[in-house]
Amino acid sequence: MKRVAIVGIQGVPAKYGGFETLVENIIGENCSPDIRYTVFCSSKDYAERRDSYKGAGLKYIPLFHANGMQSTPYDILSMLSTLKGYDTVVILGVSGCIFLPVFRLLYRKKLVINIDGLEHRRAKWGGFTKWFLRTSEAMAVRYADVVVADNKGIQDYVMETYHKEAVLIAYGGDQVLRNISEERQMEILRKYGVTPGNYAVSVCRIEPENNSHVICEAFASSGKDIVFVGNWERSEYSRGLKQKYAEYSNIRMVNAVYDLDELYALRNWCCCYVHGHSAGGTNPSLVEAMFFGKPVLAYDVVYNRETTGNKACYFKTADELTELLNRNTPDGTPMKEIAMRRYTWKYIAEQYEILY
């Protein structure tokens, strides 16, 4: 029996987030009986404390939230809690990895780190934060026994920057497939004021690096309908976009949707999926959308091309996206084929278990 500790996430059951979804799906039914997971969770983020979930043990870290400025002390405290009783520690993200020189003096067994999507390149961070994240990333690569990259673009970056081989393991997305009656799906579409095949969908955090402004500009210009799901009230940037495009009835700005039935129906009946992310690796919302076999219009960066096998349609500007929207809709079948081959959770879980 391999005893594996997972640190660096808010916890499970997953509420939201790529790493939380990853852990949610590599434990439970996709987990080998030879693996015993313990997931470290933030007691500040979970009112209900459980001893176990989906066969994994849960341990709660006090004092700190898992995200924002508190993520670094939270991750460090989580690491210190793994010093005894675990054959492997899996760290998701690099925010606490500045502590690794000390941690490695205390913990001598296997250390696996998924470095996520080059956090230091995100536009929202200031100079000090970018330096801190870049330094933490360097520590992660140096001190990990195994570095995990979720995208070939990240894998290549690790080799080019640090001259170290990273193991490529993407995210899964088949948890989005559900058995919902067509009647219920039509009811959901009516709720959002759209009809089958006549609207696009985009799901993301409303941030400059996700090119939300480019997407809004293109749909304002094309007049095509879009259900744009995101956190529209979170920042000055998102609120500014919402105010600027409020008069466009074809742009339906919907605050974050957590109802999986609603997300399923919206994705299942859309004419295309629009993905504006320009930073990061394999993005969970893109992988999830690919399972529906719809055409994907993705921002033109190496990460998105790698995720979609270079078989999506790509844009860099609002004009290019508008041109794509006005063309005949391409075939989305390749997206589903790639998703079923690369991005099922059973396959992802097995790849992680090989590392242990």
CB of 293 within 8 A of CB of 281? no
Provide the mean pLDDT of the chain.
94
Give 164-200 pLDDT, tens digit per residue: 999 999 999 999 999 999 999 999 999 999 999 999 9
Give 27-47 pLDDT, tens digit per residue: 999 999 999 999 999 999 998
CATH 3.40.50.2000 correct for 174-342: yes
How confident is the model at residue 175, as a pLDDT? 92
How confident is the model at residue 123, as a pLDDT? 64
**Residue 128 binned pLDDT confidence (cut-offs 50, 70, 90):** confident
Give 260-294 pLDDT, tens digit per residue: 999 999 999 999 999 999 987 888 899 999 999 99
Q: Which helix (H) or strand (E) holds 313?
A: strand 313-315
How confident is the model at residue 329, as a pLDDT? 74
Nearest Cα neighbor of 250 from 278, 220, 280, 218 is 220
Asked whether residue 315 carries a pLDDT value surpassing 80, the answer given is yes
Least confident of 78-82, 141-145, 279-283, 322-326: 279-283
Please state the pTM of the whole predicted model.
0.87
Give 97-121 pLDDT, tens digit per residue: 999 999 999 999 999 999 986 665 6
Domain(s) labelled CATH 3.40.50.2000 in the chain stretch across 2-169, 174-342
Q: How many whole angstroms separate alpha carbon 137 and alpha carbon 125?
A: 15
Tell me whether strands 56-61 and 52-53 are parallel, antiparallel or unpaired: antiparallel
CATH class (in words) of the domain with range 2-169: alpha beta
Beta carbons within 8 Å of 37's beta carbon, 6+ residues apart = 4, 5, 6, 26, 27, 31, 55, 56, 57
First-last CA distance in the chain: 11
